[in-house]
Structure 1
Amino acid sequence: MGFYEELSRYYDIIFPAAPSTVEFIEKSANDRKYILDIACGTGNYAIELAKKGYIVDGVDLDSEMIKAGKKKAKAENLNINFTQGNMKDIKALFSDQKYDLIYCIGNSLVHLDSEDEIGQLINDISDITNDNGTLVIQIINYDRILDFNIDHLPTISRKEAGVEFVRNYVHDKVSGKILFNTEIHITNEDKTHKYENSVALFPLRKDALVNIVKNAGFNKIEVYGGFGKEEYFENSFATVLVARK
């Protein structure tokens, strides 16, 4: 079984929908209804928002994640359009729809290859966002990672389920990328199985993200250090941006 297939099985255990994040997204929607979740995983947030009456679409690159999202939505009797596809194709995938709020969270944006690719995605997002619509982005704070030489994130441990998610960073100074090396440890019947993966991430700094969003036609940009609207500092764990079009 491959890494992402295994991850899709335990995704909801490792990354449950956080109430503070749901509340942040909901408040950012300003009582408007049409929402797009980019890099939705198994649809945890899309499902929570759909339960609250929002009309939600979700897209993810991984087919196993989408399959899991569809299964959960069906079990909840929710009508969510889950689509398997690349975020780089977002404009083509959703060309017949405009949204009141689009969000890309979970450090997904930096899986793109360069600042140019990120800029193109944000431009495409702008094109399918309604006037006065909202963009929400959350990534790891790469100012902290780069300036303080952070080489790991805290291990996520779900002992009751026998699951651990280990996360390490290696800064490749030649390419400028961050190698995100992860391991899933699954323990059952006193046996532990380990699944490993490594992916190169583009370490996007906060000021570069703000400039990209401005250049795409968004304004009223606010940056926080978390979904609780904590003040952003260079050593904040996360970079959370919200902007209006």
Structure 2
Amino acid sequence: MEQKFGDNPVEVRDTEHYKDEYNEGFVDKWDELINWDSRAESEGNFFIDALRQRGAKKILDVSTGTGFNAVRLVEAGFQVTCVDGSAEMLAKAFDNGWDRGHILRVVQADWRWLNRDIHGKYDAVICLGNSLTHLFKERDRRKALAEFYAALRHDGVLILDQRNYDAILDEGFSSKHKHYYCGDTVSAEPEYVDDGLARFRYEFSDNSVYHLNMFPLRKDYTRNLMHEVGFQKITTYGDFDPNYDPSNVDFYLHIAEKYYDENEEPED
């Protein structure tokens, strides 16, 4: 199934366009890109441990995709609500859960109006899979993060990841291809990059090709934005390691705490 980017694909910089990019053909191949077994081995219990350490039980997975993280958290005993803007992704996540003996609770929602479609407060919000980069306007990113913040209990936590776009923009693309996208039969590389667009090309084992247009978020920009919407303490990891070389990691992962300690010095 062909995606539609028009005559000049690098000019497609629209938050709404992801709904067309994740068409049925691309979504059907997404698990080949992830490779659930290899990804589970790569990340280990990082998310499970981080959530348990903070006493989290009720989790809102706002970028469920095909359900990998949601299923792992359900199997670890968490109560998970699955959200995605793509109906195709949610259908695939539900099927993946069903195949593993789980009935996932799924909600289609736009992050910018998230709390219109979900109810109650959560101990944690997870936004994984480089998903925030689908928002091209700063006001959309601020609104989405504010909605995540509002969905959390007073001591809740946001766990959010992103590609290392700093290295891609400043040094060019290289990837160990061992975290997150672990499928060894898939090529995933940027076809075009500038300060406002990272256009990635995905080629699968059957020679089918798909693309995603994303906004290249820099690490410090993302951290500052989370601070500005109210998160108090942000810890950043590089490929799950707190002691990382910024030029040698594929993904950054931020754990942003909502909890306010009046005796703790604020971060710079």
TM-score bracket, shorter-length normalisation: 0.7 to 0.9
- Post-superposition offset of 1:183: 2.9
- Separation in 1, partners of 2:44, 2:58: 15
1:27 lines up with 2:49 in the alignment:
yes
Q: How many angstroms does 1:195 deviate by? A: 3.0
- What root-mean-square deviation, in Å, do the aligned CA atoms of Structure 1 and Structure 2 show? 2.3
Identity of aligned residues (%): 27
Change (3 A) 1:22 1:68: farther
Separation (CA, whole Å) in 1 of partners of 2:209 and 2:134? 20
* Aligned counterpart for 1:13 among listed residues 32, 38, 45: 32
1:133-177 deviations in Å (ceiling 9; x for gaps)? 111111101111111133x65676856xxx42332241246xx22
TM-score, normalising length: structure 2: 0.77
Give distance in 2, aligned partners of 1:2 and 1:57. 31
Matches within 5 A, 1:54-133: 54-94=78-118, 96-133=119-156
Distance in 1 separating the partners of 2:255 and 2:188: 29
One-letter amino acid of the counterpart of residue 180, structure 1 = F
Structure 1 stretches of 5 or more lacking a match?
Answer: 187-192
Unaligned runs of 5+ in 2: 4-22, 259-268
Residues 1-245 of structure 1 mapped to structure 2, 5 A cutoff: 1-2=1-2, 4-15=23-34, 16=36, 17-19=39-41, 21=43, 23-29=45-51, 30-94=54-118, 96-150=119-173, 153=175, 158=183, 163-172=185-194, 176-186=196-206, 193-197=207-211, 199-231=212-244, 233-245=246-258
SS in 2 for 1:113: coil
CA contact (8 A) 2:175 2:250 kept: no
Query: Secondary structure of the equivalent of 2:124?
Result: strand
Gap change, CA 1:171 and 1:76, over 3 Å in 2: closer
Give per-residue Cα distances to partners, 1:115-140, cap 9 Å, x unaligned: 32112111110001111111111110
Q: CA offset at residue 109 of structure 1? A: 0.6
CA–CA separation in structure 1 for the residues paired with 2:44 and 2:83: 18
- Closer, same or farther: CA 22–54 of 1 in aligned 2, 3 Å: farther
**CA distances 1:165-223 after superposition (whole Å, capped 9, x unpaired):** 332241246xx22222333342xxxxxx42332x3321111111111111111122111
Name the structure with the higher strand share: 1
* TM-score normalized by the length of structure 1: 0.84
Is contact 1:115–1:204 with CA below 8 Å preserved after alignment?
A: no
Distance 2:69 2:127 in 1: 11
* Alignment length (residue pairs): 231
